Amino acid sequence: MSTTTVPPEVEAYLASVREELDDLPSAERDDLLAEVEDSLVEAAADGPIAARLGRPEDFAAELRAAAGLHARPAEQRPGASSRWRELAAGIAAHPRIRSLWHLAGELAPAWWLVRGYLAVAALALLLDASWSVNHPWMPLLLGSAWGGVLVIAAAVAVSMWAGLRLRGAHGAAARTAIAANVLLVLALVPVVQHLREPRPERVLYVTEAAAPLPGLASSGSSVLNIYPYSRDGQLLHDVLLYDQFGNPIEIGHNGVADPNRRFLRTAIGAALFNSFPIRYYEPGTTRVARPNAGPSIRVPSIETPPLPAP
Amino acid sequence: MDRSQLLRGTLDAATLAVIAEHDGYGYDVVRRLRAAGLGDVGDASVYGTLRRLYRAGALTSYVMPSDEGPHRRYYGITERGHEQLAEARAIWADFSLALSNLLKTDVGVTV
């Protein structure tokens, strides 16, 4: 466009003006910029141009107005570089992003609801208000939990109203709304942290079942052996015991079988842990020293109720 | 009274008048308008106006090499521009006369 070097000051100014015109058709924009560039190079010789021409945005706006071109659409106002804007537009045009964006739009009312609560909760934290014990998420405001309910309801109503009002808004209102939303999202952190704090103890009585004893137990103490007697006082040997489900009642069936214990075995050699009384061999032998040993008991004299034979 | 509003409505005529005197390039037109008393005319307004008048066919444009700087895009007035200027002169004569009479004060304060 020009055969001489453009001073950096003019270069920077022109770049900013070009950015402000980036929504125009390229031919239109190039014509305008060619006019401006030549003139600015010359004007720069008369003194610093930025001081004389004002902000590039204002310069560009004046240029458009005088050239009879439409003003820049308001929502494209932010001065991000056009490359970023193109990138953002490219991402936004992706079908998946668009459907996500659409979904976000549909979910917006849910966020309006949440942010109403968040605003009140954050305020309660700032004011160091007390919180309801029964409903830990409810701050006590205006003197009671009902005050909290009232304030939250009002905040949600205002939030919904603002959400509906500002939907698709541009300019300062939209920027304020974005800033408020960002603040409220940040408020999530302290509020969630507060809600996750352990509650003050309310339950003072804890009933705790005693841990069950391993193996057989009777009246709270372990049963280590069982001595079955017939009703005429005769110690029985090798009696197999089963519970009400038919499961063997076993003692000592934990881990390795004691090598000194005398086991009844099945045909394939599996030890039965439910045969009583348990007898022990003399160490290193297969001999039980006193097969009839047992606790000293006295079988009482018994009246036998009739039990029909099966 | 807002001078910038007045200027907006009359800048086309002023620009055409300056170029009708003799051809000029952008910054040259700005300087000549300022020298003529329109000290507050904005550079961007003039450049925009030149482009618009050129697009409307009131101006022609040509590029001339310059020794001390970049090529200069000169503007000259066309037949159509002359017509537009004549029309503007007539309107302004009427308008300024009417307004001068209206705003005249009998205490002799000059504006």
* Contact present, A121 and A129 (Cβ < 8 Å): no
A281 compared with A302, residue with greater pLDDT: A281
Distance CA A271, CA A254 (A): 12
A77 compared with B85, residue with greater pLDDT: B85
Q: Establish if B75 belongs to a structural domain.
A: yes
Mean pLDDT of chain A: 81
- Asked if A63's CB is within 8 angstroms of B47's CB, the reply is yes
In A57-93, which positions are buried (b, 16+ CB within 10 angstroms) versus exposed (e)?
eebbbbbbbbbebeebeeeeeeeeeeeebeeeeeeee
Smallest Cβ distance to B44: which of A1, A37, A59?
Answer: A59
- Residue-level pLDDT at A51: 80
DSSP per-residue codes, A16-30: HHHHHTTTS-HHHHH
Q: Tell me B4's DSSP state.
A: H
- Residue-level pLDDT at B23: 93
* B7 vs A contacts (CB less than 8 Å): none
Distance CA B20, CA B12 (A): 12
Q: Establish if B17 belongs to a structural domain.
A: yes
Return the half-sphere exposure (C-beta side, CA atoms, 13 A cut-off) of residue B38: 22
How many residues can be counted in chain B? Answer: 111
Q: Chain B residue closest to A31 (CA)?
A: B51
- pLDDT tens, B57-107? 999 999 888 776 667 889 999 999 999 999 999 999 999 999 999 988 665
Q: Establish if B46 belongs to a structural domain.
A: yes
As a whole-number percent, the residues of chain B with pLDDT over 90 amount to 64
* B10 vs A contacts (CB less than 8 Å): none
Residue A252, Cα to own-chain centre: how many angstroms?
47
Distance CA A300, CA A139 (A): 72
Question: Is the CB of residue B62 less than 8 Å away from at least one CB of chain A?
Answer: no
ipTM given for this complex: 0.83
What single-letter amino acid sits at A224?
L
- Asked if A59's CB is within 8 angstroms of B48's CB, the reply is no
Query: Alpha helices, DSSP H only, in A68-130?
Result: 82-93, 95-126
A212 has pLDDT over 80? no
Place of tokens 């507060």: A194
Q: Establish if B110 belongs to a structural domain.
A: no
- Asked if A43's CB is within 8 angstroms of B27's CB, the reply is yes
The domain in which residue B75 lies consists of 3-103
Distance CA B107, CA B111 (A): 12
| Packing angle, helices A8-20 and A26-44, rounded to 10 | 150
B71 compared with A37, residue with greater pLDDT: A37
Smallest Cβ distance to A66: which of B52, B55, B73?
Answer: B52
Structure tokens at A64: 């458009």
DSSP per-residue codes, A32-76: HHHHHHHHHHHHHTTS-HHHHH--HHHHHHHHHHHHTPPPPPGGG
Mean pLDDT of A8-20: 87
Distance CA A55, CA A36 (A): 14
Place of tokens 């494209």: A76
- Asked if A36's CB is within 8 angstroms of B70's CB, the reply is no
* Contact present, B102 and A34 (Cβ < 8 Å): no
| Å between A76 CA and nearest CA of chain B | 21
Find the helix or strand (DSSP H, E) in which A160 lies: helix A145-166
Query: What are φ and ψ of residue A252, in 5° steps?
Result: 75, 15
Q: Establish if B111 belongs to a structural domain.
A: no
- Residue-level pLDDT at A82: 67
Find the helix or strand (DSSP H, E) in which A279 lies: strand A279-280
Distance CA A18, CA A12 (A): 10
Interchain CB contacts (distance < 8 Å): A and B:
85
CATH of the domain at B27: 1.10.10.10
Q: Establish if B109 belongs to a structural domain.
A: no
Question: Is the CB of residue A71 less than 8 Å away from at least one CB of chain B?
Answer: no
From residue B111, give the alpha-carbon distance in Å to each of A118, A253, B105: 63, 120, 10
* Contact present, B80 and B62 (Cβ < 8 Å): no
Question: Is the CB of residue B104 less than 8 Å away from at least one CB of chain A?
Answer: no
- Asked if A31's CB is within 8 angstroms of B47's CB, the reply is no
Smallest Cβ distance to B48: which of A6, A58, A62?
Answer: A62
The CA radius of gyration of chain A, in Å to the nearest whole number, is 45
- pLDDT tens, A149-204? 888 899 999 988 888 888 767 777 778 888 888 888 888 888 888 888 766 555 55
- Asked if A42's CB is within 8 angstroms of B43's CB, the reply is no
Smallest Cβ distance to A64: which of B11, B26, B48?
Answer: B48
Distance CA A153, CA A208 (A): 42
- Residue-level pLDDT at A75: 52
Question: Is the CB of residue B25 less than 8 Å away from at least one CB of chain A?
Answer: yes
- Asked if A59's CB is within 8 angstroms of B43's CB, the reply is yes
B109 compared with A284, residue with greater pLDDT: A284
* Contact present, A31 and B19 (Cβ < 8 Å): no
- The most confident of the ranges A138-142, A232-236, B48-52 is B48-52
- Residue-level pLDDT at A298: 81
* Contact present, A61 and A71 (Cβ < 8 Å): yes
Number of domains in chain B: 1
The B72-77 sheet, strands edge to edge:
B24-25, B72-77, B59-64
Q: Establish if B108 belongs to a structural domain.
A: no
